[in-house]
Amino acid sequence: MTKLNPVNPPTEFMGALGALVLVPVLPLITVVFYFLVNEFYLVEGVDLDLSKLKQLVAQTNFHDFFFNSVVWKYYLAWFFLLGVLDLVLPGKIMDGTVLRDGSTLSYKINGQSITAFMFTILTARYYQTEGSMPELQFIYANFHRLIGTTIVFSFILSTFLWVYSYIPLLHKNKVGTNERILAINGNSPNHLYNWFIGRELNPRIGPWDLKLYCETRPGMLLWFLINLSCLHHVYLQTGLLTDSLVLVNALQLFYIFDGITNEEGLLTMMDIATDGFGFMLVFGDLCWVPFTYSLQCRYLSLNPITLGSHTTVLILVLQILGFYIFRSANKQKSDFKSGKLQNLKSIKTKRGTNLLCDGWWGKSQHINYFGDWIIAWSWCLPTLFNTPLTYFYVIYFGVLLVHRQVRDEHKCREKYGDDWVTYTKQVPYKIIPYVY
Ligand code: NDP
């Protein structure tokens, strides 16, 4: 144990036991989703046709599922070429939060360049291939192999990161040692837990920040391409597009690229500022996000649904409402923290900073989570009510947000002490005003 990197007990996600359960269960969920939504079997209602499912599983070549050499080749090219692009495309340089040794890391924020590059390439390929876009067809046809590949890749990358965290820095940190800065929660006596939760806070290979890269590039952009591949597949097959599929594509496209083009907001979020980079985030970023968040599009590509203009507009309005709350609440907090909006009511804390308890932040402690959850509903509703499976996202995301709120409350209670108690008396609701 050193002053810079104290050892802490494994507490997040129910400690080592939670890690032991989640490591196999999360990948299994993504595989099960594939078996429930594919060309040979499509879940309906809550009843499962077990004999058909058993037959499908028995027919599956699992070696090919996880280790198809062509898919691996393309996935590795995707991961590393995108990494090179991330390093060379222009962007603004911004500082992250102050680390425990007193230093700050610089980040290149080039989400706008990547977005412009991505759309230019896609448009060029569309015209070059006269709309056939073999890369999108490849993604659609190899959906299951991509799941298998990203699962195995997540295990490999997490193990690399864990080993890497033990290699001393080549240069001295700000306290004059060669220690890497470890995550407060990732330096426990339990190796499995550290591997799972992430030992090092901000692993970098030279200028390449692996955590920010994985959070915003290979998984998010693959999610977008999977959605697009579903739309493209249906159009190639039928020459038509359903309003439901176009709607989910449009809603998620907007969300994905809003996140990528405003990625500087991530620098102060707990994922970057306090969480270690281990299996939990690696798998979440590279496999969970692209393959479970695209479930609605995949489902709608196999079960076309026509919504009609009234339902389409209602769902669109829902996303706009959610987005408005999510965006304006986040902006209000960030403006307030940067010294603007001083007219709003706030509590002066003993740490010298202020806790806003007015505007959006007077309605609940995480009103931005509420907006995000409304958006989640707008992605699920276009699948109508044929099966609860397509509502998985809204349930899972609700659990994630409550879990996040509990973690954040714990952090703020420790950080602000009595001031946090005063704040929660003024703003009693945690996420949904008057409900929770
Ligand atoms: P918040 O934006 O709510 O930030 C919480 C932090 O803000 C606290 O730790 C505290 O930090 C500060 N804070 C909290 N309340 C106040 C207040 N009243 N006044 C001033 N400062 C306050 O949470 P996140 O960082 O978790 O989330 C950011 C966004 O990302 C949200 O909109 C969320 O919905 C979204 N998100 C999306 C996910 C996805 O998968 N789509 C996953 C996770 C999040 P301090 O005082 O230390 O500055």
Counting ligand 1 atoms within 8 A of each CB, the residue from 184, 269, 326, 375 with the most, and so the one to mutate, is 269
Does the pLDDT at position 170 exceed 60?
Answer: yes
| Look-up of token digits 């220690």 | 179
Does the pLDDT at position 426 exceed 60?
Answer: yes
Residues with a CB atom less than 6 Å from ligand 1: 269-270, 326, 330, 333, 355-356, 361, 366, 368-369, 372, 404, 408, 411-412
Does the pLDDT at position 167 exceed 90?
Answer: yes
pLDDT at 404: 94
Q: What is the pLDDT of residues 91-114, one digit of tens each?
A: 999 999 999 999 999 999 999 999
Q: At a CB cut-off of 8 Å and minimum separation 6, what does 327 contact?
A: 258, 371
Confidence of residue 421 (pLDDT cuts 50, 70, 90): very high
d(CA 146, CA 127): 26
Q: What is the pLDDT of residues 56-95, one digit of tens each?
A: 999 999 999 999 999 999 999 999 999 999 999 999 999 9
Ligand 1: atom nearest CA of 411 is: 9
Residue 33's Cβ-count burial label (10 Å; 0-12, 13-18, 19+) is: buried
Residue 173's Cβ-count burial label (10 Å; 0-12, 13-18, 19+) is: middle
Q: What is the pLDDT of residues 239-275, one digit of tens each?
A: 999 999 999 999 999 999 999 999 998 998 889 999 9
Q: What's the gap in Å between 263 CA and the centre of ligand 1?
A: 14
Half-sphere exposure at residue 368, Cβ-oriented, CA atoms within 13 angstroms: 12
Does the pLDDT at position 414 exceed 70?
Answer: yes
Please state the three-class secondary structure of 371-430 as a single string: HHHHHHHHHHHHHCCCCHHHHHHHHHHHHHHHHHHHHHHHHHHHHHCHHHHHHHHHCCCC
Does the pLDDT at position 1 exceed 80?
Answer: no
Ligand 1: atom nearest CA of 423 is: 18
Q: What's the gap in Å between 350 CA and the centre of ligand 1?
A: 20
Tell me the average pLDDT across 191-219: 97
Residue nearest to atom 10 of ligand 1 (CA): 412
Confidence of residue 282 (pLDDT cuts 50, 70, 90): very high
Least confident of 120-124, 183-187, 266-270: 266-270
Q: What's the gap in Å between 21 CA and the centre of ligand 1?
A: 28
Q: Which residues is 60 bridged to in the sheet?
A: none
Residue nearest to atom 47 of ligand 1 (CA): 412
Task: Return the sign of the alpha-carbon dihedral for residues 240, 243, 247, 248.
Answer: negative
- 3-class state of residue 431 by DSSP: coil
- Residue 161 tokens read as 């990161």
**Stated pTM of the model:** 0.94
Residue 302's Cβ-count burial label (10 Å; 0-12, 13-18, 19+) is: middle
Residue nearest to atom 46 of ligand 1 (CA): 412
% of residues, the chain, pLDDT over 70: 100
Ligand 1: atom nearest CA of 255 is: 41
Q: What is the pLDDT of residues 293-350, one digit of tens each?
A: 999 999 999 999 999 999 999 999 999 999 999 999 999 998 898 888 889 999 999 9
Ligand 1: atom nearest CA of 427 is: 18
pLDDT at 107: 96
Task: Return the sign of the alpha-carbon dihedral for residues 372, 378, 384, 386.
Answer: negative
Burial 325-358 (b: 16+ CB within 10 A, else e): bbeebbbbbeebeeeebeebebbebeeeebbbbb
Can you list the alpha helix ranges (DSSP code H) found in 239-308? 243-261, 270-273, 279-283, 289-292, 295-302
Q: What's the gap in Å between 51 CA and the centre of ligand 1?
A: 46
Q: What's the gap in Å between 413 CA and the centre of ligand 1?
A: 14
Residue nearest to atom 22 of ligand 1 (CA): 355
Q: What's the gap in Å between 226 CA and the centre of ligand 1?
A: 28
pLDDT at 2: 64
